[in-house]
Chains A and B, each alone.
Chain A
Amino acid sequence: MGRKKKEYFDSVVFTIPAIFLVCVIFYIPFLTGIYYSLTKWNGIAKEPVFIGIDNYKTLFGSASGFLTSMGFTMKYTVLFMLLSNVLALAIASALTKKFRGVSVIRSMFFIPYIMSMTIVGFIWKFIFSQGFAALYEKTSMGFLNWSWLGSSKLAFYSVVFVGVWQSLGFYIVLYIAGLQAVPLDVLEAATIDGAGSFKRFFMVTLPLLKPSIVTCIFLSLTNSLKVFDIILALTKGGPGDATYSATMDIYREAFQKNNYGLGSAKAIVFFVIVLIITQVVMKLMDREEGDTAKKRKGGAE
């Protein structure tokens, strides 16, 4: 009993520093954020004015811009998740084949991920404007002369493209690891049973890859909901306010328009939305994974 007591004591003592840090860095600011969301404060005045839930009312009005930027974030998230996962899976399957220079190509795909988002943003800003202009003079291909960052529709796709381009390498690595873990004997058995390469991929490899897919979808979901720096470097939310994501809208509200109260309210609402989305996706994934596990077990019996 004495030893057990000591163990309890140790566990408590060792978690205290972590709990303290998490509280100071996360919980306390979070709670003060909730308080500020109920006030009218410009970030400068010494005393914020308490105004109840007025900020939440303005937030859902048309003028606050929150709903449009939330819509942008949702569109971005769907497209980003789809593109990055499908492309990464396709490229990863190609890169698990054995051919000369495969490791060089793998690292080439991974390099953008090592670079900072802001730098990637500035590089592409340069490519989209001066780079494309110079190429257009040489080749006169029409699409090079489009205003990739200057028109709202194209700017959206430019942002998605650069986002996917930057993070593709990361998901490729995850998928390669998953693909390499697929047992060869199962694939051989499928070949003997007469499955072609197409069937083999979709009926055998893909179900066995589920854990990697779940991880990648979840990571791409959270990363795309948080999108900020790429947009800031590429378009600064422009042209007009066409490419303001929810996070950028919160930043603009709090730091540029000086409405810390409304900005905090937006941050809280965004937090709740993100929490719900991630929980729902996690639940769905869990169930899927549970199903396949059960099926696999049943098959074995």
Chain B
Amino acid sequence: MKKKLLATLLCVALVGTMLTGCGNGSSDSAGDAAGQEAPDQAESNASDASADVSSDASGDEEAEIYMFISGPEYADFINELIEEYKNVKPNVTINYETTQNDYPTMLKAKLNAGECPDIFASTAGKEIEVYKEYSYDLSGQPVQEALLPALQASFVDDSGNGCYAFHYVGDQYGIIYNQDCLDQAGVTSLPKTLDELVDCCEKLQAAGIQPFACGYAEWWVFKQSLIPFLTESVDNYASFVADMEQGNDSLNNHEMMKDNMFQFVDIVKANCESKPLESDLATAQAQLATGKAAMGLGMGPWAEASLLAINPDMNINYGGYPVSNDPTQCQIAAGASQALRVNKDSENLQAVLDFINWWFTSDFGKEWLANLGSVPAVDTNGVYSSEMVKISMEDMAVNGAGNIGTTYSTDAFWQSFGESFQSYVEGSASKEDTIAKIEQNWKEIDGAEQ
């Protein structure tokens, strides 16, 4: 009997080792990826962009806030904010951690491990609903009242209620121009229509300047540069997206999506480097900043610092995407694409709320928000710290702002959208195939979730 038991146990152990050997492929990819990456990244991030602000002063309401958010480009600013808060509330410790790469995966790993950060991030718009069961409704809090209406609209749930998030910057999509290149080629004003864009490209080519730094190796460049073609064609973008998800509408019903969008991609393809699908963000920014190329796609004011770091003397100009031959439709898109959320089950909920309200209403906080060098989230009374924000605010005062739109679909969809367009740029998919693929993905990836 004992022998049998032992034999069975040994067999199990043996089969176990064998299966682990053979089965690596399946379980590794799904399970370990999250588990392994998370601590590694956390560590590497801890070294370059994290602040562990602790204070030794003792008091009665000690609290610890764990803040795990994306957007490492603002790490220095946030550290500054946390430093200051140490003076306001010495007993509150804020553990700040950030990462750019694969943030959603790491967040999910944390959520499933049962440790929800007190402050975490998601995209705005559609994802508000996805994380709703974890998020605190900020309605009526001072922070909600401070946010600009355009941003508040990005933080409501599917039924249009509540305020499930906040954010310290707004977002914009437009074309960044290297003004020196335009001057050199004799282009006097930024192109507002597709015809003017073609004309502008011809002038730049004649002057020996590559017109576009496309960045088409990045899937999100397609998302951020083609969204105006979608939002400008329809009056109610949210209901258009809902129709697309149900399969009740088609890109073919809208001329601007069916023709202009592909025309734009064709213009870019004909006027960028010979290998557009190998141009990533770093390459595109380097070309744009050094004047090798005149127009950068898919970027917003967040890119200004990187561009100026490459070339401090770069003469930046900024405008909307020409989507048709009607210049009034060439607008910079604005809104909030990211959202910071408060964990509603946080142990220190009140401390977290106090911190956020201080962040958005105190004098220090207001000044901090105005000096981020990005699109402000609150009314800053005309004070802008960045050149591009100033240009965009002036532009929007004249032309109005476009709908940011991208937040109505998940990044999973946008990634497939970008991949479909990469196939189109490569030439392995026709325009009809690309449209069919996008429509199918809209239904299957986002539509299936409801």
Interface size class of B (residues with CB under 8 A): 35 or more
Task: Check: B29 CB closer than 8 A to any chain A CB.
Answer: yes
- Minimum CB–CB distance from A222 to chain B (whole Å) comes to 7
Are A275 and B27 within 8 A (Cβ)?
no
For window 394-442 of B, CB contacts with A under 8 Å fall at 410-412, 415-416, 419-420, 422-423, 425-426, 428-429, 440
Q: A257's closest neighbor in chain B, by CB?
A: B412
Which A residues touch B26, using CB under 8 A? 250, 267-268, 270-271, 274
Find out whether the CB atom of A63 lies under 8 angstroms from the CB atom of B444. yes
Task: Tell me which residues from 36 to 52 in chain A have a Cβ below 8 Å from any Cβ of chain B.
Answer: 42-46
Measured CA separation A264–B422 after assembly (Å): 28
| A156, B120: Cα distance in complex, Å | 38
Q: With an 8 A cutoff between CB atoms, is A68 at the interface?
A: no
Q: Is residue B354 within 8 Å, beta carbon to beta carbon, of the partner chain?
A: no
Q: Is the CB of A264 within 8 A of B30?
A: yes
- Asked if B275 contacts A257 (CB within 8 A), the reply is no
- Whether B277 and A150, one on each chain, are in contact in the complex, defined by CB atoms closer than 8 angstroms, is yes
Cβ-neighbour of A22 out of B2, B6, B13, B30 (below 8 A): B13
B27 contacts across to A, CB distance below 8 A: 26, 29-30, 33, 267, 271
Of A22, A256, A263, which one neighbours B16 at CB under 8 angstroms?
A22
Q: How far is the CB of A8 from chain B (nearest CB, A)?
A: 5
Q: A242 vs B420: C-alpha distance in the bound complex, in angstroms?
A: 11
B56 contacts the other chain (CB 8 A): no
> Which single member of B9, B278, B444 contacts A147 (CB below 8 Å)?
B278
Chain B, residues 22-37, CB within 8 Å of chain A (1/0): the string is 1111111111011000
B234 CB–A CB distance under 8 Å: no
B30 touches A44 (CB 8 A): no
Q: Does A12 contact B (CB under 8 A)?
A: yes
Q: Is the CB of B2 within 8 A of A5?
A: yes
Q: Is the interface of B mostly helix, strand, loop or mixed?
A: helix
Chain-B contact segment, one of A185-193, A233-241, A289-297 = A233-241
Q: With A239-B422, A240-B420 as given contacts, are A15 and B30 in contact (CB-CB < 8 Å)?
A: no
* Residue A151, interface by CB 8 Å: yes
A247 touches B25 (CB 8 A): yes
Given contacts A222-B24, A239-B422, contact A11 B29 (CB under 8 A): no
Cα A222 to Cα B20 in complex, Å, equals 12
Q: Which residues of B contact A237 (CB under 8 A)?
A: 419
- Is B17's beta carbon under 8 Å from chain A? yes
CB of B293, distance to nearest CB on chain A (Å): 15
Instruction: Give the distance in Å from the alpha carbon of A8 to the alpha carbon of B3 in the complex.
Output: 8
The answer to the question of B373 belonging to the interface, with a C-beta cut-off of 8 Å to chain A, is no
Of all chain A residues, which has the CB nearest B20?
Answer: A26
Q: A254 and B30: CB pair below 8 A?
A: yes
Given A12-B6, A26-B19, A33-B31: A152 and B428 within 8 A (CB)?
A: yes
Which partner residue on chain B sits nearest A32 by CB separation?
Answer: B31
Given contacts A250-B30, A271-B27, contact A150 B16 (CB under 8 A): no
Chain B positions within 8 Å of A263 at CB level: 30
B157 CB, nearest partner CB in chain A, Å: 15
Contact present for B29 and A26 (CB under 8 Å): no
* Beta-carbon contact of B420 and A44 below 8 Å: no
Please indicate the chain B residues that have their CB under 8 angstroms from the CB of A275 in the complex.
22-23
Q: Is the CB of A63 within 8 A of B34?
A: no
Contact A149 B16 (CB under 8 A): no
B363 within 8 A of A: no
Tell me, in angstroms, the Cα distance from A129 to B420 when the chains sit together.
22
- Which residue from B13, B21, B25, B426 sits with its C-beta under 8 Å from A18? B13
A226 contacts chain B at the CB level, 8 A cutoff: yes
A145 to B275, CA, bound (A): 9
Q: B388 at interface (Cβ–Cβ under 8 A)?
A: no
Across the interface, do B23 and A238 meet the contact criterion of CB distance under 8 Å?
no
B248 within 8 A of A: no
> What is the bound-complex CA distance between A23 and B21, given in angstroms?
14
Assembly CA distance A233 to B363 (angstroms):
45
Partner of A255, one of B6, B33, B217: B33
Report the nearest A residue to B105, measured CB to CB. A255
- A15/B108 in contact, CB under 8 A: no
Which residue of the partner chain B has the closest CB to A62? B440
The docked-state distance in angstroms from the alpha carbon of A270 to that of B440 is 25
Task: Please name all residues of chain A whose beta carbon is closer than 8 Å to the beta carbon of B31 when the two chains form the complex.
Answer: 29, 33
In the assembled complex, A93 has its CB within 8 A of some CB on chain B: no
Q: Evaluate contact between A150 and B276: CB separation under 8 angstroms.
A: yes
Interchain CB contact under 8 A, B22 and A239:
no
Residues of A within 8 A of B355 (CB): none
B449 within 8 A of A: yes
CA distance A256 to B19 in the complex (A): 27
Q: Lowest 6 A-B CB distances belong to which pairs? A: A240-B423, A150-B277, A271-B26, A247-B29, A257-B412, A22-B16
| 15 A/B residue pairs, CB under 8 Å, sorted by A | A12-B5, A33-B27, A43-B112, A46-B133, A151-B428, A228-B28, A239-B422, A239-B426, A239-B428, A251-B30, A257-B445, A267-B30, A271-B26, A274-B22, A275-B23
> Which residues of A does B touch, CB under 8 Å?
5, 8, 11-12, 15, 18-19, 22-23, 26-27, 29-30, 33, 42-46, 63, 128-129, 145, 147, 149-152, 222, 225-226, 228, 237-242, 246-248, 250-251, 254-258, 263-264, 267-268, 270-271, 274-275, 278
Starting from the known contacts A238-B419, A258-B412, 19 additional A-B residue pairs (CB-CB under 8 Å) come to A5-B2, A15-B9, A19-B12, A23-B16, A26-B27, A30-B27, A128-B278, A129-B283, A145-B274, A240-B420, A241-B419, A250-B26, A256-B415, A267-B26, A267-B30, A271-B25, A271-B26, A274-B25, A274-B26
Could you list which residues of chain B lie within 8 angstroms of chain A, going by C-beta atoms?
2-3, 5-6, 9-10, 12-13, 16-17, 19-31, 33-34, 102, 104-105, 108, 111-112, 130-131, 133-134, 217, 219, 274-278, 283, 410-412, 415-416, 419-420, 422-423, 425-426, 428-429, 440, 444-445, 449
